[in-house]
Amino acid sequence: MTAKISIIGAGMTGSTTAHWLAEREIADLVLVDIVEGMPQGKALDLMQALPVIGKDVEVIGSNDYAATQGSDIIIITAGVARKPGMSREDLLTTNANIVRTAVENTVKISPQAIYLILTNPLDTMATLAMRVSGLPPERVVGQAGVLDSARMRTFVAMETGVSVENIACYVMGGHGDEMVPLTRHSNVAGVSLRDFLPADRLAAIVERTRKGGAEVINLLKTGSAYYAPAVAVAQMAEAILRDKHLIVPASAYMRGEYGLQDMYFGVPVQLGRGGIEKILEYSLDADEQAELKASAAKVRESIQVMQRLVKIESPGPDR
Ligand code: APR
């Protein structure tokens, strides 16, 4: 049976996600948006591209959540995108209500689905989605780490002139300016970045990675990044549907890992058909631990704000 992936929010990120997914030919796709005609138009346009690349995928656009029934994966990109000068937290109230609506309207008709969340502020929205859905935490995952790590890989490739294929980077922590690029674990063909690059160049790459989203927003002026976020979530969806047991950094529910509880946070996870199969605990030095703690404090603050603004019935999985 053909798998089904529904994408809620057919804006820049949602429709680009559909594009990357259609190329992978792993599932039929549904695009849902509140703007009338837009998801239908994008779906038709995308379907008309597929004969050229020889991919047999059905793409449907709708303004009705009913079209998502029986989805294996639900990707949520619905929300307001950041504008220049706007922090991810500024988006909180608006996006919390949008994510809540999207989850409530889809979970009843796709009880087996695994949720991949992209809407910002990411870790907070993933926490909200898990609580609202009532699903086990391993079936709700936030996309951020693949993107942040890809940004870091790009900057290392630019700096060194080495193929991106040789560059492995790992970014942990919340999806904000306090994220933690792990320079010791990240490497060029197995050589730690700390040995491969002078300290000042490495520090500049860490800084640029942390501000990677804002750099694109400031250039675009009217929206935020979408190619890289979209391909990052496409990779996660493929890892799940193909049961690849792929390890990627992603936002996962913490139950004591890294000393954190009851919040979503960016950590290395193993993805398979059931969603998150495992959370990996890396050994971190004192500096890395301190950075992670600072990042976690920011995420926790945002979750507390969200909890004040949005009433959630579910007490969470551990209460
Ligand atoms: N249901 C469905 N779609 C919705 C809803 C809703 N309740 N509310 C808003 N949308 C749609 C909008 O109509 C729009 O088409 O979500 C889409 C968002 O698309 P864009 O504005 O193009 O934003 P995009 O760049 O895709 O970013 C979306 O992803 O990366 C994050 O920070 C980003 O939170 C933002 C989200």
Q: What digits encode the pLDDT tens for the residues 252-296?
A: 999 999 999 999 999 999 999 999 999 999 999 999 999 999 999
Q: Are 33 and 197 in contact (CB under 8 A)?
A: no
Distance from C-alpha of 45 to C-alpha of 39, rounded to nearest angstrom: 10
Q: What is the pLDDT of residues 238-256, one digit of tens each?
A: 999 999 999 999 999 999 9
Angstrom distances, CA of residue 317 to CA of 59, 132, 138, 255 = 34, 11, 11, 10
Q: How far is the CA of 319 from the centre of ligand 1 (A)?
A: 32
Average pLDDT over residues 201-217: 97
Q: How far is the CA of 84 from the centre of ligand 1 (A)?
A: 16
Same domain, 127 and 159: no
Check 19, 175, 185, 245 and give the catalytic one: 175
| Tokens 């998801």 belong to residue | 39
Beta-carbon count within 10 A of 312 CB: 16
| Tokens 């990707």 belong to residue | 75
State which of 113, 143, 173 marks the end of a domain: 143
Q: Are 287 and 183 in contact (CB under 8 A)?
A: no
185 part of the active site: no
Distance from C-alpha of 311 to C-alpha of 103, rounded to nearest angstrom: 14
Q: How far is the CA of 34 from the centre of ligand 1 (A)?
A: 10
For residue 269, is it within any domain? yes
Q: Give percent helix, percent strand, percent coil of the chain, each to the nearest 5.
A: 50, 20, 35
Give the ligand 1 atom nearest the CA of 229.
30
State which of 143, 171, 198 marks the end of a domain: 143
Q: Which CATH number goes with the domain that contains 115?
A: 3.40.50.720
Average pLDDT over residues 146-163: 98
Helix (H, G, I), strand (E, B) or coil at 142: strand
pLDDT given for residue 240 in this prediction = 98
Helix (H, G, I), strand (E, B) or coil at 167: strand
Q: Is the pLDDT of residue 141 over 70?
A: yes
Q: How far is the CA of 13 from the centre of ligand 1 (A)?
A: 8
Which of 6, 7, 8, 13 most suits a substitution to test ligand 1, by most atoms within 8 Å of the C-beta? 13
How many domains are there within the chain?
Answer: 2
Phi first, then psi: what are they for 266, rounded to 5°? -75, 115
- Closest CA to ligand 1's atom 36: 119
For residue 318, is it within any domain? no
Q: What is the DSSP string of 200-267?
A: HHHHHHHHHHHTHHHHHHHHHSSS---HHHHHHHHHHHHHHHTT--EEEEEEEEEESGGG-EEEEEEE
Q: Are 191 and 202 in contact (CB under 8 A)?
A: no
pLDDT given for residue 86 in this prediction = 72
Q: What is the pLDDT of residues 99-133, one digit of tens each?
A: 999 999 999 999 999 999 999 999 999 999 999 99
Q: Is the pLDDT of residue 22 over 80?
A: yes
| Structural domain boundaries, residue 151 | 145-308
Q: What is the pLDDT of residues 83-95, one digit of tens each?
A: 777 776 678 988 9
pLDDT given for residue 53 in this prediction = 97
Instruction: Kindly list the protein residues whose Cβ atom lies closer than 6 A to any atom of ligand 1.
Output: 8-14, 32-35, 77-79, 81-82, 95, 98, 101-102, 118-120, 223-224, 226, 229
pLDDT given for residue 319 in this prediction = 64
For residue 94, is it within any domain? yes
For residue 82, is it within any domain? yes
Task: Report the predicted TM-score, pTM, of the whole model to 2 decimal places.
Answer: 0.97
